[in-house]
Amino acid sequence: MTDSLLGTYRRAPMELVRAEGVRLYDADGKAYLDFASGIAVNALGYNDAGVNAAIAEAAATGLIHTSNLFRTAPGEQLADKLVAASFADKVFFCNSGAEANEGAFKFARRWARNVGGPAKHEIISLRGAFHGRLFGTVAATDRPQYRNHFRPLAGGIHIHERSIDELSRVISDEQTAAVIAEPIQGEGGVRVLDAGFVRELRALTAERNVLLILDEIQCGYGRTGSFFAYEQYGITPDLLTMAKPMAGGLPMGAVLLTQRVAEAVQPGDHGTTFGGGPLVAHVANHVFDRLRDPALLAHVRREGEWLGDQLLALSARSAKVRAIRGRGFMWGVDVTDPAKDVVARALSQGLILVGAGDHTLRLLPPLVMERRDLAQGLNALEAAIG
């Protein structure tokens, strides 16, 4: 084990050396069933033949990277597909979730300055939110331990309660550029925003000429059983951010925008060297086609419902489970023990889980996981909860 890596993570002790399907293997040959997907990234599992072929095809062209100063086909094709599949008219590609949200904040402010002048710059996020760890996004992230050591944070970004009454008091046409929300808060404990709340928030922002940004970095791209999570709420946002599963494990993010916001953004307003490069975008085209497959989305809805039923039964028979929440292949389990202890016990039994706060476990299996593997994971989960 090296001492050379900066200590930003408490890594699990085993060294992962290969993976296949929904299992990872360590240097001793021990198998781990994956209920985390590399934190909601590996939707198609591991060593997927289609993803591997897409990487090889793209590499064979010799064009791994060109910069955004030149046109390449894969990014253009993917942008067309995303526009055709969503509310959006334009797409901006980047390399991560936080970078997508930073871009969305800038695009929102660019639009707001045009329509309302410099006073209209405020960005509002919600209690429990996680939007990333960069300077703008950490200011919109509601976790004191991620924020406190880095003050002063970026200005003009405020966190408010998930309450229409409060938001109605603080959102103003004159000062607010945008509100950002995760339809299902991930890191904040897998909190599914209530459909009524989301619809009222959409109506409130529209009425006050404020943009609504949906952060679907964790909950989008099929994870909750529809391609975009917003489809289940009967509303559309003005901007939407995504990242994690987009390119089969390669780094990629994107911002989707409506025409009126896109029109405000001019050449030079924003940029990124790697974003939407030909190799990642070629792989992302393949992943898009696979995750748009109605059969896969039906699998996530059906097996996700079964998963929810099993978790409910578990919560009924275990005094150590306080509550469960979720949808599709994204579930949170509140436990009485510290989540990190349960995660460690699960790992020793060959199950990979992640936490979401001090007492919440997060279940994010690859979207291709079959019932027998889900059932094996649930057995190991129950044993780890104790």
Ligand X SMILES: Cc1ncc(COP(=O)(O)O)c(C=O)c1O
Q: How far is the CB of 182 from ligand X (least distance, A)?
A: 5
Is residue 38 part of the contact set for ligand X (CB under 6 A)? no
Tell me if 239 sits within 8 A of 90, measured CB to CB: no
Q: Which residues pair with 19 in a beta bridge?
A: 24
Q: How far is the CB of 225 from ligand X (least distance, A)?
A: 17
Q: How far is the CB of 359 from ligand X (least distance, A)?
A: 19
Q: Output 136 or 304, the one with its CB closest to ligand X.
A: 136
Rounded Cα–Cα distance for residues 30 and 70 (Å): 46
Rounded Cα–Cα distance for residues 288 and 275 (Å): 17
Please tell me what DSSP assigns to residue 46. B
Is residue 360 part of the contact set for ligand X (CB under 6 A)? no
Q: Output 45 or 186, the one with its CB closest to ligand X.
A: 186
Is residue 218 part of the contact set for ligand X (CB under 6 A)? yes
Is residue 217 part of the contact set for ligand X (CB under 6 A)? yes
Task: Mark 81-120 with x for binding to ligand X (rule: CB under 6 A) and - for no binding.
Answer: ---------------xxx--x-------------------
Is residue 242 part of the contact set for ligand X (CB under 6 A)? no
Q: How far is the CB of 41 from ligand X (least distance, A)?
A: 9
Stretch that binds ligand X, among 210-218, 220-228, 363-371, 377-385 (CB under 6 A): 210-218
Structure tokens at 290: 């696979």
Q: How far is the CB of 244 from ligand X (least distance, A)?
A: 6
Tell me if 337 sits within 8 A of 386, measured CB to CB: yes
Residues 161-200 that bind ligand X (CB under 6 A): 182, 186-187
Q: Output 97 or 249, the one with its CB closest to ligand X.
A: 97
Q: How many chain residues bind ligand X (CB under 6 A)?
A: 15
Rounded Cα–Cα distance for residues 38 and 60 (Å): 27
Q: Output 94 or 380, the one with its CB closest to ligand X.
A: 94
Is residue 243 part of the contact set for ligand X (CB under 6 A)? yes
Q: Output 215 or 373, the one with its CB closest to ligand X.
A: 215
**Gap between the terminal Cα atoms of the chain:** 31
Q: How far is the CB of 309 from ligand X (least distance, A)?
A: 26
Burial 158-178 (b: 16+ CB within 10 A, else e): eebebebeebeeebeeebbbb
Closest chain position to ligand X (CB): 97
Looking only at the bridges linking them, the beta strands covering 31-34 and 351-352 are parallel
Q: How many CA atoms lie within 13 A of 240 on its CB side?
A: 27
In angstroms, the Cα distances linking 34 to 17, 150, 214, 292, 300 are: 14, 33, 27, 22, 16
In angstroms, the Cα distances linking 174 to 111, 259, 264 are: 13, 22, 18
Using a 10 angstrom Cβ sphere, with 0-12 exposed, 13-18 middle and 19 or more buried, the burial of residue 44 is buried
Q: Output 98 or 297, the one with its CB closest to ligand X.
A: 98
Rounded Cα–Cα distance for residues 339 and 321 (Å): 11
Q: How far is the CB of 39 from ligand X (least distance, A)?
A: 6
Q: How far is the CB of 307 from ligand X (least distance, A)?
A: 20
- Residue 72's identity, in one-letter code, is T
Stretch that binds ligand X, among 115-123, 169-177, 215-223, 271-279 (CB under 6 A): 215-223
Which of 224, 239, 301, 315 minimizes the C-alpha distance to 270? 239
Q: Output 116 or 355, the one with its CB closest to ligand X.
A: 355
Is residue 34 part of the contact set for ligand X (CB under 6 A)? no
Rounded Cα–Cα distance for residues 380 and 386 (Å): 10
Which residues contact ligand X (rule: CB under 6 A)? 39, 96-98, 101, 130-132, 182, 186-187, 215, 217-218, 243
